[in-house]
Amino acid sequence: MSQPPSTNEVGGSGASTPPNGGVRPIVDSRSIGKSFGALTALAPLDFTVGPGERVALAGPSGSGKTTLLYILAGLLQPDRGELFLDSQAVSRLRPGKELSEIVGLIQQQLDLVPQLPVVQNVLAGRLGQWGLLRSLASLVSAREREMAYNALSRLGIADKIDERTSRLSGGEQQRVAIARLMLQAPQIILADEPVSSLDPARADEILALLTDLVEDSKGAVIASLHDPELIKKYFSRVIGLREGVLQFDIPPQQLTAPVLAALYGFDRDFPNNSAL
Ligand X SMILES: Nc1ncnc2c1ncn2[C@@H]1O[C@H](COP(=O)(O)OP(=O)(O)OP(=O)(O)O)[C@@H](O)[C@H]1O
Out of 41, 90, 155, 220, name the contact with ligand X by CB under 6 A: 41
Residue 141 CA to residue 120 CA, distance in Å, equals 10
**29 vs 100, beta carbon nearer another protein:** 100
User: Integer distance in angstroms from the first to the last C-alpha of the chain?
Assistant: 16
Q: Which of these, 13, 64, 69, lies nearest to 246 by C-alpha position?
A: 64
Measured from each CB, the residue nearest to Mg ion is 66
Angle, helix 170-184 to helix 145-154, in steps of 10 degrees? 130
Q: Does 247 bind ligand X (CB under 6 A)?
A: no
Q: Does 173 bind Mg ion (CB under 5 A)?
A: no
CA 98-32-248 angle, to 5 degrees, is: 115
220 binds, among ligand X, Mg ion, another protein, none (CB under 5 to 8 A by kind): none
Q: Does 63 bind ligand X (CB under 6 A)?
A: yes
Out of 12, 52, 62, 265, name the contact with ligand X by CB under 6 A: 62
54 binds, among ligand X, Mg ion, another protein, none (CB under 5 to 8 A by kind): none
Q: Does 64 bind ligand X (CB under 6 A)?
A: yes
Handedness of CA 141, 146, 152, 153 (dihedral sign): positive
73 binds, among Mg ion, another protein, ligand X, none (CB under 5 to 8 A by kind): another protein
Handedness of CA 136, 139, 141, 145 (dihedral sign): positive
Out of 59, 194, 219, 240, name the contact with ligand X by CB under 6 A: 59
Residues engaged in binding another protein (CB under 8 A) = 70, 73-75, 95-97, 99-101, 103-107, 110-116, 120, 124-130, 132, 135-136, 139, 164, 177, 180, 184, 190
CA 194-198-202 angle, to 5 degrees, is: 95
In single-letter form, the type of residue at position 1 comes to: M
DSSP 13: -
Residue 195 CA to residue 109 CA, distance in Å, equals 9
Binding site for Mg ion (CB under 5 A): 66
Binding site for ligand X (CB under 6 A): 36, 39, 41, 59, 61-67
